[in-house]
Homo-oligomer: A and B are copies of this chain.
């Protein structure tokens, strides 16, 4: 009889809780010449390890938050809910996959190899079978991941629980790197930025990763009305898992967190150029006159500019903010008669929140016709 009750119920319940409309808020960080700018998060948990949500929640969140691809990376070695949840290490992927397909979200199979430091925690994504990574020897687990075609990166290298004093690079990481097993490193995790990881990424040729490592419902960790979740920007030739794999392998990533993007100049410069447009052009600047140069910023990011060098013949503000999704003004003031003869005004700033190296901001130049 139980069965028949259940069948009746199934019919009734099937369409019950679908009423809620779903919306996806796109992330406005533009594509760059030659590549799509995919928005990804490769580190997150579910009830199948120490997270608090069912795997489908991660898919819905990611789709609604404007992501293109995610990896669920439940811990191999840490499963505090195992008294109640009996399943293998592939299960969270399998549960999430049908919904991801329906929504058009790219779901990458992943897991977290979870050890004390060294080597700490490592994510392996693009693997084929997480169960085979349950090994006593962490190096063997990494080799297995690699043989499955996995891409391995070091998680939260500066996490105080494992590196309380300083953020150190260990011999074990060199071993992984030399063996061709380590492809990336988180320069940002959850709410922490690791400047050392930026340096290592550039020196040692690792892809920069920026992930949420979310355990709770995403809204618990991030007040999404005010700030976005951390995003690994992936510069890929198309919107496919293989292209993401290829971009990671070739270090075509950047870290987008808070009000900043951290990455190589070759990616951040075209992002800036694709984001802004000089609206009012030309000006007609003479000595003692004041003109406004209107600049539109179509990205989600306020660009915080500081003047790199004073201009000759005219003056510009020391600080300018190009507000997201708005048009901002740069006020230029003629300070000598020669300005009237200039055909172009060249204006030099640094974008302090586009970080292209340790302590280094992206320099930019605006050129405005002066007629």
| Contact B47 A47, beta carbon cutoff 8 Å | yes
- Stretch of A15-23, A199-207, A227-235, A339-347 on the interface side: A15-23
- Flag A82-96 by CB within 8 Å of B: 1 or 0 each: 001111000100010
Q: Which of A170-178, A259-267, A318-326 contacts B (4 or more CB under 8 A)?
A: A318-326
**A215 touching B84 by the CB < 8 A rule?**
no
Known: A9-B116, A77-B9, A116-B9. A21 touches B219 (CB 8 A): no
- Which residues on B sit within 8 Å (CB–CB) of A326? 23-26
**Interfacial chain B residues near A161, Cβ < 8 Å:** 12-13, 15-16
Question: How many Å from the CB of A119 to the closest CB on chain B?
Answer: 13
Which of B13, B21, B53, B328 has a CB less than 8 Å from the CB of A52? B53
- Are A102 and B290 within 8 A (Cβ)? yes
Chain B nearest CB, measured from A19 CB (Å) = 7
A81 CB–B CB distance under 8 Å: yes
Q: How many residues of A contact B (CB 8 A)?
A: 70
Assess the A217–B2 pair: CB atoms within 8 A.
Answer: no
Interface positions of A from 5 to 48, Cβ below 8 Å from B? 5-6, 8-9, 12-13, 15-17, 19-26, 47-48
Q: How far is the CA of A189 from the CA of B169 in the complex (A)?
A: 49
Assess A6 versus B78: contact at CB under 8 Å? Given A26-B296, A87-B84, A191-B19.
yes
By the criterion CB–CB under 8 Å, are B6 and A327 in contact?
Answer: no
| Most chain B CB atoms below 10 A, which of A47, A104, A159 | A47
A323 neighbours in B (Cβ, 8 Å): 21, 23
State whether A136 and B47 are in contact (beta carbons under 8 Å apart), knowing that A26-B327, A217-B53, A328-B21 are contacts in the complex. no
CB neighbours of A179 from chain B (8 A): none
Q: Please, which residues of chain B bring their CB within 8 A of the CB of A60?
A: 216, 220
Given A115-B5, A215-B17, A220-B217; A325-B53 close (CB under 8 Å): no
For A136, list chain B residues within 8 Å (CB).
1-2, 5
Interface flags for A40-75 (1: CB within 8 Å of B; 0: not) read 000000011011111011001000000000000000
- Which residues of the partner chain B approach A328 to less than 8 Å between Cβ atoms? 21-24
A-B contact pairs, 15 of them (CB 8 A): A1-B136, A9-B78, A12-B161, A21-B323, A22-B328, A22-B329, A23-B326, A24-B327, A26-B327, A52-B54, A53-B54, A57-B216, A57-B217, A103-B292, A104-B280
Given contacts A20-B221, A60-B216, 18 further A-B pairs with CB under 8 A are: A5-B136, A9-B78, A9-B114, A13-B78, A17-B216, A21-B321, A22-B328, A23-B327, A24-B326, A25-B326, A26-B327, A47-B54, A48-B84, A84-B91, A84-B95, A102-B290, A104-B294, A225-B225
